[in-house]
């Protein structure tokens, strides 16, 4: 009697030599942890995106049409997209420059290393701080009756309104976006700066290169994919920001997210499928930016390994 037959008898059963072994499928318990993520992604990302894409090419009666896409090329909608792109580019450029300087000061500069942990912790919180709380914070600080506005006017005679600054404007919204753009840049570029090996700097110095030459020929070329990828991500982050823009400017600034919000509420446009087309256009723009970020991030990771 084989060991397999003896085991079957002890369990109260029997097994012949010709009887094949039964392999019961086991439940892959390791995948249970990702079920909530898959469920949320399906309900709140995949299905809504599919509805938007399908609705952008439908008539109110459910027929196929390209009129909604052609409607995106009207003057008012093109102007809204153009303003959104300009704000996104401006906030992404400034966010990259300021965030890179702060991250480089902590990682490579002479700033105390003890500042690194508080800076990264604050960046993790601030990069997700948006919407009504952020709009209120900037209105309370730089608004017509804000703390800094009143302080500058009362102490130095500087009136920001007379100088042309208005929080509910292109530059006002751009500065507001910097509150979460700069921390996001710090979080993403810090690992890339950590990946710059000391041996590269030492080899450059041995060969007679100055600090400026090291950054021109070694440092920045290696960091360039990370910088461009982060710029693309910051652009997409600003282009898709809706809650902050609506809470801060209302309907006074004609940008794509506010135009889309007005369409969802049914206040401006009478064709809901044109609203789907607006959202579809935003998905295309942010999708291109995110795809560029992923591609550049993969290139930078190969360099820094």
**In the chain, where the domains are located:** 72-304
Mean pLDDT of 197-203: 86
Residue-wise pLDDT for 87-123, tens only, equals: 999 999 999 999 999 999 898 877 788 888 999 999 9
Query: Taking 90 as the threshold, does the pLDDT of residue 269 lie above it?
Result: no
**pLDDT band for position 275 (50/70/90)?**
confident
DSSP 189-242: HHHHHHTS-HHHHHHHHHTT--HHHHIIIIIHHHHHHHHHHHHHHHHHHHHT--
Structure tokens at 86: 């300009």
| pLDDT value for 304 | 62
**pLDDT band for position 250 (50/70/90)?**
confident
Measured N-to-C along each axis, helices 75-107 and 256-265 cross at an angle, to the nearest 10 degrees, of 130
Measured N-to-C along each axis, helices 132-142 and 170-194 cross at an angle, to the nearest 10 degrees, of 110
Query: What's the whole-model pTM score?
Result: 0.82
CATH no., domain 72-304 = 1.10.3720.10
Highest-confidence segment of 13-22, 39-48, 270-279:
39-48
| pLDDT value for 3 | 54
| pLDDT value for 207 | 87
Mean pLDDT of the chain: 84
Query: Taking 60 as the threshold, does the pLDDT of residue 15 lie above it?
Result: no
**pLDDT band for position 231 (50/70/90)?**
very high
**pLDDT band for position 44 (50/70/90)?**
confident
């Amino acid at each position: 009697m084989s060991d397999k037959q003896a085991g079957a008898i002890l369990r109260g059963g029997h097994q012949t030599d010709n009887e094949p072994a039964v392999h019961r499928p086991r439940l892959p318990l390791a995948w249970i942890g990702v079920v909530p993520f898959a469920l949320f992604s399906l309900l709140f990302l995949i299905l809504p995106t599919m509805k938007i894409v399908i609705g952008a090419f439908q008539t109110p009666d459910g027929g196929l049409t390209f009129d909604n896409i052609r409607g995106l090329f009207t003057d008012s909608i093109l102007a809204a997209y153009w303003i959104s792109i300009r704000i996104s580019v401006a906030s992404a450029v400034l966010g990259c420059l300021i965030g890179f300087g702060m991250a480089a000061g902590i990682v490579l500069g002479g700033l105390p290393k003890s500042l690194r942990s508080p800076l990264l912790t604050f960046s993790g919180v601030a990069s997700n701080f948006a919407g009504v709380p952020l709009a209120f914070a900037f209105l309370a600080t730089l608004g017509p009756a804000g703390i800094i506005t009143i302080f500058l006017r009362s102490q130095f005679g500087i009136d920001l309104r007379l100088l042309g600054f208005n929080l509910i404007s292109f530059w006002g919204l751009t500065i507001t976006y910097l509150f979460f753009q700069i921390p996001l840049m710090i979080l993403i570029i810090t690992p890339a700066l950590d990946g710059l090996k000391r041996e590269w700097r030492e080899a450059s110095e041995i060969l007679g290169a100055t600090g400026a030459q090291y950054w021109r020929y070694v440092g920045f070329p290696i960091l360039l994919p990370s910088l461009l990828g982060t710029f693309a991500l910051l652009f997409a982050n600003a282009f898709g920001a809706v809650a902050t823009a609506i809470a801060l400017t209302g309907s006074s600034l004609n940008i794509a997210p506010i135009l889309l919000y007005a369409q969802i509420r049914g206040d401006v446009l009478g064709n809901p499928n044109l609203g789907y087309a607006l959202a579809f256009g935003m998905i295309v723009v942010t999708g291109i930016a995110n795809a560029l970020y992923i591609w550049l991030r993969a290139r930078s990771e190969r360099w820094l390994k």
